Amino acid sequence: MTTTQLVQQIKKKKSFLCIGLDVDLNKIPKHLLKEDDPIFAFNKAIIDATNHLCVAYKPNTAFYEAYGIKGWQALEKTINYLNEKHPEIFTIADAKRGDIGNTSTMYAKAFFEDLAFDSVTVAPYMGKDSVEPFLAFENKHTILLALTSNQGAFDFQTKNIEGKEVYKHVLETSKSWKNSENLMYVVGATKAEFLADIRKIIPNSFLLVPGVGAQGGNLQDVCKYGMSDTIGLLINSSRGIIYASNDTDFVEAAAKKSEELQKQMEAILS
């Protein structure tokens, strides 16, 4: 999917909501555990109830890998279901990968070809030759970790290198990489006050913003400081939506929470 198509979807749906599919078998409604594939059953129910309210889904691969082969099968079924039923939806493999060149190419093949996601999250620590192999895939997007939503972001990301924080070096340096037009960035909603500075470095790039809701980030602040001329934001909510209820009404509860966020986004967009 191109970013132009993503922007069209945002305008059509009046939403820039991304729903995180982080399925923990200890948290989903008990009645689903009887299903052959409880993880996929849960995802399918959530997708069926919320796809008109969001523009992206983001499974975090950790939650699938923790269940081994069955988990990986559930991830494959989920991305196939999305690509078949809702090809207009932007899909994000939240995998936070990154390795030396030939190895990053294998990760890129895993997520862009074998699983056919539109995008994958990548960690920047290993530098240019660990990220460029992902950028080489046409109409696929590499979402680079810049400033994450957790407390540990202050351990290294905000440390000062020659007058500028590490995450700003990541933003600036990455702009010079080959096919950098395929870059998007992760910036946590818990650090909304940093967004104005970030937009000075990358005025147009899409930002994937986790941390609204459960982690305490504020939607209005994120939009005030982070919105670009072409919107440029995907706001993620995971637990706040998918675990809004852990009972038989989980589908309705997830749709209600999604609609609340979509309505706030509609008001901001208009």
Site for a second copy (CB under 8 A): which residue of 5, 114, 266, 267?
A: 114
- Positions marked active-site: 96
Using CB under 8 A, which of 148, 182, 237, 262 touches a second copy?
Answer: 148
C-beta separation of 43 from 23 below 8 A: yes
- Residue from 31, 33, 52, 65 touching a second copy (CB under 8 A): that is 65
Q: Is 126 in the site for a second copy (CB under 8 A)?
A: yes
* SS3 at position 100: coil
Q: Does 172 bind a second copy (CB under 8 A)?
A: no
User: Quick one: 9 or 182, whose CB is closer to a second copy?
Assistant: 182
The one among 31, 87, 106, 200 contacting a second copy by CB under 8 A: 106
Q: Residue 51 Cβ, how far from a second copy at the closest point, in Å?
A: 24
Closest to a second copy by CB, 49 or 111: 111
| Tokens coding 165 | 């924080």
Which of 7, 24, 3, 84 lies closest to 238 in space, CA to CA?
24
Tally of CB atoms within 10 A around 200 = 10
Q: Which of 5, 8, 66, 200 binds a second copy (CB under 8 A)?
A: 66
| 155 part of the interface to a second copy, by CB under 8 A | yes
Q: How far is CA 126 from the centre of its chain?
A: 21
CA distance 247 to 224: 36
d(CA 237, CA 137): 27
Q: Is 152 in the site for a second copy (CB under 8 A)?
A: yes
Nearest to 17 by CA among 189, 196, 175, 198: 189
Q: Interacting stretch for a second copy, rule CB under 8 A, among 10-18, 43-51, 123-131, 223-231?
A: 123-131
In the chain, which ranges are continuous DSSP H helix?
3-13, 38-50, 62-65, 68-85, 101-108, 128-135, 166-174, 195-201, 219-226, 239-242, 250-269
Are 211 and 190 in contact by the 8 Å Cβ rule? The answer is yes
**Closer residue to a second copy (CB): 236 or 262:** 236
Minimum CB distance to a second copy, residue 199 (Å): 22
Residues forming the site for a second copy (CB under 8 A): 22, 24, 60, 62-63, 65-69, 71-73, 76, 94, 96-101, 103-104, 106-107, 109-110, 114-115, 123-131, 145, 148-157, 159-162, 166, 169-170, 173
